[in-house]
Amino acid sequence: MSAPDTRDPASGVDTTGHEWDGIRELNNPLPKWWLYVFYASILWAAIYWLVMPAWPLASTYTKGWLGYSQREAALADRDAALVARAAHGAPLLSVRPDQISGNAALLEFALANGKAAFGDNCAACHGAGGGGAKGFPNLQDDDWLHGVSIDQILQTIRVGVRSSSPDTLGAVAMPAFGRDGLLKRDEIVNVAAFSRTLSRLAPDPSADLEAGGRLFATQCASCHGAGGEGKREIGAPRLNDAIWLYGGDQKTIVETLTNGRAGVMPAWDGKLDEATLRSLAVYVRSLGGAQ
């Protein structure tokens, strides 16, 4: 008895011996190219495991011979982008900051760049679009605590107010008259009521306005001016307008006088590049009115 012929009579190719309803499976070899790609991918995987970060371990992972790290690559990309952005902003450095708005192309660039940087760095405190909040000045109004010119605004952004910078603005703060025992409770009520009259707000009817006025002249005028017009040089706000940093109702003014106020604006010099600082000054200036 000879071995059964396992070849397919039609093609002459060997079969695997599997048969379904008389249909037999041909035993064609895998195409060579397919096989080589298969072996190559196995080899590739082995090499990849060795050179790239691959296998998770208990508390770390295999770092691979190349020591590649996506985090470091992303940081390098970010640094490159910052350098590119700084280079992009270079034309802003070719003129004085207060001349930027005189050049349409520079102005357009500064406004777009400043708007983006404002959203990233400033909006958390000053509100999107610079609308402000209690204790964080509205940058859209025409009242400026520390100056309205591009150079003054740029300086405010650079050094901050009561910040950690040695050049910071805000040498004085609003004293805590109540907490430090400088004024008694009823004196605070009186001078608070009087300061409301400076901006034509109805005073607390129970307050002694005359006594309040005398106190204002001796305790407040040195910083806020005799008529409450404020003093820009020391960052003491105007009290005779309708714009309030903390609030102009009797209760808030009493609170201001009792515990004092010392708003802090961080310094940005060194944290943002020069072109971005200038863009921010131009953008912020564009939000608010003149004085």
User: Where do contacts with ligand HEC occur on this chain (CB under 6 A)?
Assistant: 118, 121-122, 124-126, 135-137, 139, 144-146, 153, 156-157, 161, 170, 172-175, 177, 191, 195, 219-220, 222-224, 235-237, 239, 244-247, 253, 256-257, 261-266, 268, 280, 284
Q: For ligand HEC, which is the closer residue by CB, 47 or 124?
A: 124
Q: For ligand HEC, which is the closer residue by CB, 53 or 260?
A: 260
* Least gap, CB of 167 to ligand HEC (angstroms): 15
Q: For ligand HEC, which is the closer residue by CB, 52 or 221?
A: 221
Q: For ligand HEC, which is the closer residue by CB, 109 or 244?
A: 244
Q: For ligand HEC, which is the closer residue by CB, 106 or 143?
A: 143
* Least gap, CB of 236 to ligand HEC (angstroms): 4
* Least gap, CB of 159 to ligand HEC (angstroms): 11
* Least gap, CB of 111 to ligand HEC (angstroms): 13
User: From CA 42, how far away is CA 35, in angstroms rounded?
Assistant: 11
* Least gap, CB of 45 to ligand HEC (angstroms): 49
